[in-house]
Amino acid sequence: MQRKSFSNLMCPIARGLERVGEWWSILILRDAFYGLTRFDQFQKSLDIAPNMLTRRLNALVEEGLLERSQYCEKPPRFEYLLTERGRDFRPVLLAMLAWGNKHFAPEGEAVVLVDVKTGQQVNPVVVDANTGKLITGGEYAFAPGPAATEGFHRRMALREQV
């Protein structure tokens, strides 16, 4: 499928946003992580127009983040289940949760992450999978990867001049 806008960029952030960067898509994925699977559940939770929900669910299925599974034949009814690609979005949601709680919850945290076994609140962070070291600001930088284009190398070189 030929994509417009961000499609020709090599940036994985742009590619990811192209798939889930729309408000409703992220909230649908959030609700899928909460355990919702059915159209009416998503609609009730999100208070979203049916036509918009249909479009967003179809897009998430097309992008491979959700899969549609029929659970009733007459009338035909479907549920939407997270795929491996969709489940891999969980750390992104957890990072957004922590960021939103830190910067945009003046009334206090409305949603927190807890350890299922202990009930203790946990603070999601990003760590290097190889070392377990916390990834923070100045110690790490973006760099061209093996598949980076010449244009991306030029953009990275501009960054180094700043």
**pLDDT score, position 108:** 93
Task: Pinpoint the residues of the chain covered by CATH 1.10.10.10.
Answer: 5-88
pLDDT exceeding 90 applies to what percent of the chain? 69
Model confidence at 161: pLDDT above 80: no
Q: What is the pLDDT of residue 114?
A: 96
Give the pLDDT of residue 9. 63
Q: Which two tokens stand for residue 85?
A: 């690609």
CATH topology of domain 5-88: Arc Repressor Mutant, subunit A (1.10.10)
pTM of the model: 0.84
Please return the burial class of 63, using the count of CB atoms within 10 Å of its CB with bins 0-12, 13-18 and 19+. Answer: middle
Give the mean pLDDT of 101-111: 94
Of 24 and 21, more confident = 24
Can you list the alpha helix ranges (DSSP code H) found in the chain? 12-20, 23-34, 39-46, 50-62, 84-87, 90-103, 150-161
- 12 prior amide bond cis, ω within 30: no
pLDDT in tens, 66-104: 999 999 999 999 999 999 999 999 999 999 999 999 999
